[in-house]
Amino acid sequence: MTVHRSGTTVPLSSSGRPRRSLLAAAGALLAVLSLLLTLPGSAGATDTPPRGSAYLGMGVIEHDGQGGLPRGNRAAQTEGVDVSSHQGNVNWSALWSSGVKWSYVKATEGTYYKNPYFTQQYNGSYDIGMVRGAYHFATPDTATGAAQADYFVSNGGGWSRDGRTLPGALDIEWNPYGDACYGKSQSAMVSWIRDFLNRYKARTGRDAVIYTSTSWWTQCTGNYAGFGASSPLWIARYNTTPGTLPAGWGFQTMWQYTSSGPIVGDHNKFNGAYDRVVALANG
């Protein structure tokens, strides 16, 4: 069927509508679908996790890979775990019975997030008999080092000389929300870390532990060696050995060696017997 308009002949569909209009509508629909597939958050885009969801070692496997577990029974090492909101209410009794004697609990992130499970995790580990500490996930692109240290200390990251509380730990590693080095130059990153450490010590009297990976430390600080004399090192490497350490540290105090351990995934080795864990707690 055809209809004549201004001297031209336009083909019609069986419903009487011009075929050209139907084709145009179909083309527009395809264009919209194509756009949706390329929008952030769509099925075809890389998803960015929500703020607050970061945790120790979040990027270790992606950036450093994963090898085997430590070989044999490593002498004079004490088992520990680290937890965050991802673990919810933790079965501390089962962990204690399995041989875990110390723990670190995520307290804060940036200046915008507090772990909603912190009380159960921090007090629960203490109540079962563990030596426990708190850690802060650093986001150097959202606030100063000093501001984040204050937020951490004020929301669970303090220290007390009770023989069972470890100094706070600064989790400084790959940015799960964007640029790996948080948009900072190597010198600016070193300055940010120094500001955090100085404020933490001014508030608590203790030098904070530094948790990091050698590859991230090398990339984002230029393998800066200036913190090894004061801050204990907690190294992340999911392999049979801790591997090469960042500059400035001759040994690691703690080693996160797996994200797939029993009961709680993240398991760690303290580089010493239990009495050395207590010694670190006592300062």
The catalytic residue positions are 82, 171, 173
Q: How far is CA 243 from CA 21, 88, 127, 260, in A?
A: 66, 31, 34, 19
CA atoms of 104 and 153, how far apart (whole Å): 15
Q: Three-state SS for 276?
A: helix
CB within 8 Å of 33: residues ≥ 6 apart: none
| Residues 233, 249 contacting (CB under 8 angstroms) | yes
Q: How far is CA 100 from CA 171, 227, 252, 278, in A?
A: 21, 28, 19, 14
Give the amino acid at 113. Y
Instruction: Identify the sign of the CA torsion 240, 243, 249, 251.
Output: positive
Q: Got the DSSP string for 27-40?
A: HHHHHHHHHHHHST
